[in-house]
């Protein structure tokens, strides 16, 4: 059983790489800083502690027990065959959000994800995308792109979500690998033909199809729809993608947006450069100002290198000499540079239910007083009862403290001159 599970994880990890691998980023692809993007909706600095600003999301299915999910996280995603946990989680924590998982762009012809009746249904209804030679567009050996723009398929998937959500009391739908641009077909054996035009799919067509799918699911289920749609800040600010992401967020009924590579890549121990890290921060600022400020929306990031699910026993994938504590504090402090509205969530991998990461979400430094700013090579944000300092560079930085502070995590008093080590986040609480 363990070997089968391990094979499944390795197979899925390969699909993740194929789904989101992209050519090297060019800085010329940025439209501009977030301030140059027109703002939608008023920015609201809520008078709430940061423990409410950022909430906890943990892995799906049976990696953790219902009891752990109910007490150590605020949101869970489960496959259809794991939904029996939903009533158990809700009985322990009625406010916990439980979502039903489905891959939004693929179906499998064999292997661990293969469901014979479902696959045959898709074949019979011509819901699988083909290339110009009439061959299925595959990713890997057995995954096939689905015709996300087909109205009948949209209806079927919406009904599929509704039936399971209603049966088990789930709180919403989650679409994985659901990228509303040409990345939808990335890694495929060939670029697919749009059955309704007879021509190659365009970026505009994929975007509209994804938006229509989301709207259909939301209408049929009456529940929020969330998706894994943007891998990193570099993706968000790429000139060919940015308008697509903004349109998707602002003009569809999507209620939540996942960024898996926001501050780290799960199978790569190397830190992001300061430039790449900052694009993630600025993306989070823009999403918070324009998407979360609309209310009842979710933005969450996955930073799981401290204990990666795809490796045996939650192995860490970290730079040499870096502790799990340093990594998750760096990630959490980075999120605090941007978070201001309710609806922010974080996933810290299999390390999440342990004492230290849980303690980060319990630190209360009050409400944000404004946006982050840069002082020297440090990024700083002031709160009513403290401050956050992040060093995303490869060299130590000095910082002068003019008030009495203590470390928000361990309570140790901070001297007037503070050394901030490379790739380190510090949360200070005013004494």
CATH code of the domain in which 39 resides: 3.20.20.80
Q: Are 365 and 408 in contact (CB under 8 A)?
A: yes
Same domain, 231 and 379: no
Q: How many domains, the chain?
A: 2
Per-residue tokens: 35: 């301030």
Q: Of the given ranges (210-214, 244-248, 414-418), which has the lowest mean pLDDT?
A: 414-418
List the one residue out of 348, 374, 203 whose CA is nearest residue 277. Answer: 374
**Whether 56 contacts 74, CB under 8 Å:** yes
Task: With beta carbons less than 8 A apart as the criterion, state whether 418 and 426 touch.
Answer: yes
pLDDT digits (tens, 9 = 90+) for 212-233: 999 999 999 999 999 999 999 9
Contact 173, 99 (CB under 8 A): yes
308 and 395 both lie in a single domain? no
Q: What is the pLDDT of residues 299-352, one digit of tens each?
A: 999 999 999 988 887 899 999 999 999 999 999 999 999 999 999 999 999 999
416 or 127: which carries more pLDDT confidence?
127
Do 309 and 404 lie in a common domain? no
CATH of the domain at 422: 2.60.40.1180
Model confidence band, residue 63 (pLDDT cutoffs 50, 70, 90): confident
Burial (0-12, 13-18, 19+ Cβ within 10 Å), 414: middle
Pairing of strands 254-259, 143-145: unpaired
pLDDT (tens digit, 9 = 90+) per residue, 387-397?
Answer: 999 999 999 99
Q: Say how far apart CA 150 and CA 197 lie, in whole Å.
A: 12
Separation of alpha carbons 150 and 292, rounded Å: 30
Q: Within 10 A of 116 (CB to CB), how many other CB atoms are there?
A: 9
pLDDT in tens, 349-362: 999 999 999 999 99
Q: Give yes or no: residues 196 and 182 share one domain.
A: yes
- Which of 362, 391, 419 is the last residue in one of the domains? 362
- For position 39, what pLDDT does the model report? 29
Give the lowest-confidence range in 52-66, 205-219, 235-249, 284-298. Answer: 52-66
If asked whether residues 80 and 50 sit together in one domain, one would say: yes
Q: Within this chain, do residues 323 and 177 fall inside the same structural domain, yes or no? A: yes
Rounded Cα gap, residues 293 and 280, in angstroms: 18
* pLDDT range class, residue 52, cuts 50, 70, 90: low
Instruction: Give the global pTM.
Output: 0.88
Task: Provide, rounded to the nearest whole percent, the portion of the chain with pLDDT above 90.
Answer: 83
- Asked whether residue 8 falls in the same domain as residue 84, the answer is yes
238, β-bridge pairs: 30
Instruction: Check pLDDT > 70 for residue 207.
Output: yes
At CA 197, angle to CA 195 and CA 199, rounded to 5?
A: 90
Question: Same structural domain for residues 306 and 420?
Answer: no
The reported pLDDT for the residue numbered 174 is 98
- For the stretch 19-46, pLDDT in tens is 333 332 222 223 333 333 332 322 233 3
Residues 377 and 292 in one domain: no
**Residue carrying the six token digits 């933005």:** 299
Q: Where are the alpha helices (DSSP H) in 200-258?
A: 203-221, 233-236, 239-251
Claim to verify: residue 273 and residue 420 sit in the same structural domain: no
Q: What region does 352 belong to: left with phi over 0, alpha with psi -120 to 50, or beta?
A: alpha
- Over the chain, what is the mean pLDDT? 88
* Shared-domain flag, residues 263 and 198: yes
- Whether pLDDT at 5 is above 60: no
- Predicted local confidence at residue 116, as pLDDT: 97
Last-in-domain residue among 317, 347, 362: 362
DSSP line for 160-193: HHHHHHHHHT--EEEEET--SSGGGGTT-SSPPE
- Domain holding 430, by residue range, is 368-431
| CA–CA dist 314, 306 (Å, integer) | 8
**Chosen domain end from 362, 394, 415:** 362
Looking at residue 415, its pLDDT comes to 83
Q: CA–CA separation, 287 vs 366, rounded Å? A: 21
103: three-class secondary structure by DSSP: strand
Provide the pLDDT confidence category of residue 50 given band limits of 50, 70 and 90: low
312 in the same domain as 424: no
């Amino acid at each position: 059983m363990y070997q089968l599970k391990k094979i499944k994880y390795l197979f899925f990890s390969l699909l993740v790489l194929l789904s989101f691998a992209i050519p090297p980023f060019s800085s010329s692809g940025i439209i501009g800083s977030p301030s140059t993007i027109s703002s939608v909706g008023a920015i609201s600095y809520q008078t709430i502690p940061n423990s409410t600003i950022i909430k906890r999301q943990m892995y799906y299915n049976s990696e953790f027990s219902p009891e752990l999910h109910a007490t150590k996280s605020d949101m869970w995603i489960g496959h259809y065959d794991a939904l029996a946990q939903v009533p158990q989680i809700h009985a322990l924590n009625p406010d916990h959000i439980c979502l039903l998982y489905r891959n939004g762009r693929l179906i499998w012809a064999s292997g661990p994800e293969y469901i014979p009746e479902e696959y045959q249904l898709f074949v019979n209804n011509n819901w699988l995308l083909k290339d110009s030679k009439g061959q299925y567009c595959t990713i890997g050996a057995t995954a096939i792109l689905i015709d996300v723009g087909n109205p009948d398929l949209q209806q079927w998937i919406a009904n599929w979500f509704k039936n399971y959500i209603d049966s088990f009391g789930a709180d919403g739908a989650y679409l994985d690998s659901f990228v509303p641009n040409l990345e939808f077909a990335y890694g495929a054996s060939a670029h697919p033909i749009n059955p309704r035009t007879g021509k190659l799919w365009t970026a505009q067509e994929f975007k509209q199809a994804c938006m229509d799918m989301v709207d259909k699911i939301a209408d049929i289920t009456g529940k929020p729809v969330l998706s894994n749609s943007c891998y990193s800040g570099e993706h968000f600010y790429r000139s060919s993608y940015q308008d697509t992401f903004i349109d998707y967020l602002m003009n569809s009924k999507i209620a939540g947006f996942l960024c898996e590579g926001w501050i780290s890549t799960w199978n790569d121990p190397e830190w992001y450069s300061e430039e790449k890290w900052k694009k993630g921060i600025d993306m989070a600022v823009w999403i918070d100002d324009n998407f979360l400020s609309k209310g009842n929306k979710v933005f969450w990031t996955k930073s799981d290198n401290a204990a990666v699910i795809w490796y045996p026993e939650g192995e860490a994938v970290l730079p040499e000499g870096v502790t799990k504590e340093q990594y998750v504090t760096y990630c959490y402090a980075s999120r605090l540079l941007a978070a201001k509205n309710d609806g922010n969530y974080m996933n810290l991998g299999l390390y999440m239910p342990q004492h230290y990461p849980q303690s980060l979400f319990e630190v209360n430094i009050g409400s944000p007083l404004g946006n982050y700013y840069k002082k020297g090579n440090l990024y700083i944000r002031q709160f009513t009862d403290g401050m956050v300092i992040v060093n995303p560079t490869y060299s130590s930085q000095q910082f002068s403290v003019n008030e009495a502070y203590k470390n928000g995590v361990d309570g140790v008093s901070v001297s007037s001159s503070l050394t901030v080590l490379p790739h380190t986040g510090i949360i200070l609480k005013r004494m």
